[in-house]
């Protein structure tokens, strides 16, 4: 069986109707991973035993004719920044190369409780720091559409797994665009929910105030199903919000006619690739033809978003990564003679160059005498950026933009130029900073057959509207 173009519903109903079994599906996926992933590099760890046990449980339910849970038998991939009990969780870092967590991430537990079969853990930039997946300590991920190109990052492994039919859906994490940008590079759907919508418990922190867990899927409907599964207040995450979770799937059916969509000129500026601009503009025309109204909006603080992001994210990261000190579960350099040598060498050898660069940046931003000028100022700009969106959302229901200024670039193309790499996030970091939801959906290809992504940004806790618009466009395109 070829696990091509499966969706959550198709998997569930074929298992329920006994035309296939969860076990067979899992095995088929493992066979495909075996065949394809040598070249792509999407997975870091497979957890076959755990997957087959879960598949067997689902099959027994189906055999007994019991109604199956929403994600019954659905093979999923989990970005390796989410804690999985008993399954190695590396965050793409040498410092956690042998770390086996004693507990499950809340989102993963929700997926499994809904019947999902976790195939394994996907490759990513080290501690989710990167936009190309070249910062993985283990191996790069290659874009299934063009193996010479990057899949985007940092959830590159999750995006590639879904794009290459090595999983039906995947969980990723987004701190500055790490779900949406790889989704756009690999031609899949990537949803970043509102900050606080999905529990972060068990998500290895990069930048706590910016980290989000969200789905990467083949269809908008699947993204809605996964979000419905993982959303909601979690008593062990104090930043998770006590806001009612709508039935996102039911919400998809509502018409989009009459919705007002904002177009922000700041997202169509000089750095935007012409092919991307053209595709996104056609997509916007398409949505307009479906009955949406277009309105210009202004987000004047957008130019400050990249420096703001890189101050806040690195400051938080410098603190979040302090625990990888060689004392307990993280890499400890061999043969050290003193405590300070243990710290220095374990962290020097355990972390990659980009991680160390960001720890240095963040440490500097928080230092006495610099705090006000950097971290505090960045927080103020963050407030202004958030206000930009609040202002815009008074006039419109959602904002449409390109996801990334370019399609997937080549491996090595930007890896020696951190600044150029940082600018790859220019259209995505704003939503992380403002805490609003955003989705990237495929909207055509370049001449070289590289996918292009359309980004739709929504109001706080209004994932329903962006999912609805995305779904309507997906159906019409």
Partner 1 sequence: MGDRLVDSVEPYNPEMPTSVAHVTTYEPVIGLEVHVQLLTASKIFCSCCTRFGAAPNTNVCPVCLGMPGALPVLNRKAVEFATLAAMALNCRIHETSIFARKNYFYPDLPKGYQISQYDKPLAEHGYIEVQASKTDAGSEKLRTENRELRTRRIGITRVHLEEDAGKSLHEGFPDSDEKTAIDLNRAGVPLIEIVSEPDIATPDEAYEYLTRLKEIILYTGVSDCNMEEGSLRCDANVSVRPRGQKELGTKAEIKNVNSFRFIREALVYEIARQIEVIEGGGKIVQETRLYNSHEGKTYSMRSKEQAHDYRYFPEPDLPPLVVDEKWKAEIAKTLPELPEARRARFVREFGVTEYDAQVLTVSKSLADQFEAAAKAAKNPKRVANLVQGELMGRLKARGASIEQSPISMKGVAASADLVESGVISGKMLKDLYDLSFERDQDFPEVYEAEGRPQQSSDTSALEKIIDEILAANPKQLEQYRAGKTTMLGFFVGQVMKASKGHANPQLVNELLTKKLG
Q: Which residues bind partner 1 (CB under 8 A)?
A: 81-83, 89, 91, 96, 99, 101-103, 105, 200-205, 207-209, 235-239, 315-316, 318-319, 321-323, 325, 327-329, 339, 343, 363, 366-368, 371, 375
Residue whose CB is less far from partner 1, 29 or 347: 347
Contact 60, 66 (CB under 8 A): no
Residue whose CB is less far from partner 1, 91 or 118: 91
Per DSSP, 212 falls in state: E
The 10 Å Cβ neighbour count of residue 356 is: 15
Residue whose CB is less far from partner 1, 102 or 334: 102
Beta bridge pairs of residue 75:
117
Per DSSP, 82 falls in state: B
Residue whose CB is less far from partner 1, 146 or 325: 325
The answer for residues whose C-beta is within 8 angstroms of residue 41's C-beta and 6 or more apart is 123, 139, 140, 141, 142, 157, 160
Q: How far is the CB of 363 from partner 1 (least distance, A)?
A: 7
Q: Active site residue: 178, 184, 279, 305, which one?
A: 178
Q: How far is the CB of 281 from partner 1 (least distance, A)?
A: 37
Residue 369 phi, psi (nearest 5): 95, -20
Q: How far is the CB of 426 from partner 1 (least distance, A)?
A: 23
Residue 143 phi, psi (nearest 5): -70, 120
Contact 418, 357 (CB under 8 A): yes
Q: How far is the CB of 206 from partner 1 (least distance, A)?
A: 11
Known active-site residue 79: yes
Which of 89-113 are b and which e, b meaning 16 or more Cβ less than 10 Å from the residue's Cβ? bbbbbbbbbebebeebbbbbbbbbe
Known active-site residue 154: yes
**Nearest CA to 475 among 14, 467, 447?**
467
Q: Active site residue: 14, 79, 184, 459, which one?
A: 79
Contact 15, 22 (CB under 8 A): yes
Q: Active site residue: 83, 154, 346, 404, which one?
A: 154
Q: How far is the CB of 333 from partner 1 (least distance, A)?
A: 15
Q: How far is the CB of 157 from partner 1 (least distance, A)?
A: 18
The answer for residues whose C-beta is within 8 angstroms of residue 36's C-beta and 6 or more apart is 144, 164, 166
Please tell me the distance from the alpha carbon of residue 438 to that of residue 96, in angstroms, as a whole number. 30
Residue whose CB is less far from partner 1, 212 or 468: 212
Per DSSP, 291 falls in state: T
Residue whose CB is less far from partner 1, 212 or 414: 212
Q: Residues with catalytic annotation? A: 79, 154, 178
């Amino acid at each position: 069986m070829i696990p091509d173009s499966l969706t959550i519903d198709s998997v569930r109903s074929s298992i329920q109707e006994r035309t296939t079994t969860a076990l067979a599906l899992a095995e088929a996926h493992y066979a495909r991973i075996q065949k394809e992933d040598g070249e792509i590099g999407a997975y870091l760890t497979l957890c076959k035993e755990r997957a087959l046990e879960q598949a067997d449980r689902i099959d027994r339910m189906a055999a007994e004719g019991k109604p199956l849970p929403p994600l019954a038998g659905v093979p999923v991939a989990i970005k390796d920044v989410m804690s999985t009990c008993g399954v190695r969780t590396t965050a793409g870092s040498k410092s956690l190369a042998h770390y086996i967590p004693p507990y499950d991430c809340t989102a993963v537990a929700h997926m499994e409780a809904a019947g999902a079969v976790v195939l394994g853990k996907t490759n990513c930039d080290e501690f989710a720091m990167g936009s190309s997946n070249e910062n993985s300590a283990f191996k790069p991920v290659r874009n299934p559409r063009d193996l010479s190109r990057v899949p985007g990052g940092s959830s590159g492994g999750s995006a590639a797994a879904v794009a290459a039919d090595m999983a039906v859906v995947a969980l990723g994490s987004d701190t500055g665009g790490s779900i949406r940008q790889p989704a756009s590079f690999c031609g899949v759907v990537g949803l970043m929910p509102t900050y606080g919508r999905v529990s972060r418990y068990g998500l290895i922190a990069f930048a706590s105030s910016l980290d989000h867990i969200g789905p990467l899927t083949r269809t908008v409907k699947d993204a809605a199903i996964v979000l419905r599964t993982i959303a909601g207040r979690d008593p062990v995450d104090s930043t998770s919000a006590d806001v009612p979770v709508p039935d996102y799937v039911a919400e998809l059916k509502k018409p989009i006619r009459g919705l007002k969509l904002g177009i922000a000129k700041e997202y169509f500026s000089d750095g935007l690739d012409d092919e991307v601009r053209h595709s996104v503009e056609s997509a916007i025309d398409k949505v307009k033809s479906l009955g949406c109204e277009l309105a210009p909006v202004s987000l004047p603080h957008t130019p400050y978003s990249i420096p703001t992001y890189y101050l806040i994210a690195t400051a938080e990261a410098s603190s979040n990564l302090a625990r990888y000190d060689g004392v307990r579960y993280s890499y400890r350099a061999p043969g050290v003679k003193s405590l300070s040598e243990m710290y220095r060498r374990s962290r020097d050898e355990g972390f990659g160059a980009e991680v160390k660069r960001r720890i240095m940046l963040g440490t500097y931003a928080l230092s006495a005498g610099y705090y006000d000028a950097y971290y505090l100022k960045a927080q103020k700009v963050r407030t202004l950026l958030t206000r930009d969106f609040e202002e815009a959302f008074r006039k419109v229901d959602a904002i449409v933009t390109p996801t990334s200024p370019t399609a997937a670039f080549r491996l090595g193309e930007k890896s020696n130029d951190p600044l150029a790499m940082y600018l790859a996030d220019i259209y995505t970091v704003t939503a992380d900073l403002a805490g609003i939801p955003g989705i990237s959906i495929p909207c055509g290809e370049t001449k070289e057959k590289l996918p292009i992504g359309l980004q739709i940004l929504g109001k706080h806790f209004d994932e329903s509207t962006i999912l609805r618009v995305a779904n309507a466009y997906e159906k019409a395109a």
